[in-house]
């Protein structure tokens, strides 16, 4: 089921009766759509989020939306205020840096474990996507973010530790919510950093892969701090 402009059509404007399995599917669609709106800044930090608002926006009944909203609240993406209202959780610079520090530890280890475990075809695909990004043929910003998510998720999955992979995914989601974490002017640097990781993974050199992953995150942190200092 596709979500077009965050609107899911229903026959004759009516929401059909759905069973529990369909509710879970729609809840997953609602979760993904709301999370994407938050990550893209369509729903800004501190903005009020209601089940009625989201249901109307997605063309859904409130039941699957309620489940999606509860999931986002449980993950800390949405925050309940004293009044009971739910808002998109503001993400502070301090929280971002703390999460990035933990990401550094975990992603470095994931890269070390993943060395030699990703298929040549997968590494070739990531190398080609990196080249396309550098040459300006990557498409829109959403496509660029998806490529970055795919790359790091594949490394985490190849570590062979599902708990490590899930923790990395959660931390990457949290840091993506920090708006200044979107760092313009680093496309070439990111490409070079990704290629260094790919080279090490391809050689099966775990320590080099770990070092390249650490350098990648260190450069994100340093570039961000430089931008903030210049503001």
Q: What are the pLDDT digits (tens) for 90-106?
A: 878 888 899 999 999 99
Q: Tell me which DSSP letter residue 16 carries.
A: P
* Strand extents, DSSP E, 58-195: 78-80, 86-88
Chain-wide mean pLDDT for the chain? 84
Residue 13 has pLDDT above 60, yes or no: no
Residue 81 has pLDDT above 60, yes or no: yes
> pLDDT, tens digit, for every residue of 185-211?
678 898 999 999 999 999 999 999 999
> pLDDT, tens digit, for every residue of 213-228?
999 999 989 988 887 7
Q: Is 116 left (phi over 0), alpha (psi -120 to 50) or beta?
A: left
> What kind and span of H or E run contains 218?
helix 206-230
Domains detected in the chain = 11-88 (1.10.10.10), 93-230 (1.20.120.530)
């Amino acid at each position: 089921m596709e979500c077009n402009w965050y609107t899911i059509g229903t026959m004759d404007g009516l929401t059909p009766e759905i069973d529990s399995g369909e509710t879970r599917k729609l809840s997953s669609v609602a979760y993904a759509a709301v999370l994407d709106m938050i990550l893209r800044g369509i729903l800004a930090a501190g903005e009020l989020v209601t089940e009625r608002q989201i249901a109307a926006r997605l063309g859904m009944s409130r039941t699957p939306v309620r489940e999606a909203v509860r999931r986002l609240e449980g993950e800390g993406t949405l925050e309940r205020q004293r009044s009971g209202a739910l808002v998109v959780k503001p993400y502070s610079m301090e929280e971002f840096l703390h999460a990035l520090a933990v990401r550094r530890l975990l992603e470095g280890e994931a890269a070390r474990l993943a060395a030699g475990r990703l298929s040549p075809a997968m590494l070739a695909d990531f190398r080609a996507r990196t080249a396309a990004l550098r040459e300006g043929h990557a498409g829109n910003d959403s496509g660029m973010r998806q490529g970055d998510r795919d790359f790091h998720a594949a490394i985490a999955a190849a570590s062979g530790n599902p708990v490590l992979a899930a923790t990395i995914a959660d931390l990457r989601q949290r840091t993506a919510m920090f708006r200044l974490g979107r760092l313009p002017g680093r496309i070439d640097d990111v490409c070079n950093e990704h290629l260094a990781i790919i080279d090490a993974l391809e050689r099966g050199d775990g320590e080099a892969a770990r070092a390249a992953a650490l350098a990648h995150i260190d450069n994100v942190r340093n570039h961000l701090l430089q931008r903030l200092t210049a503001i």
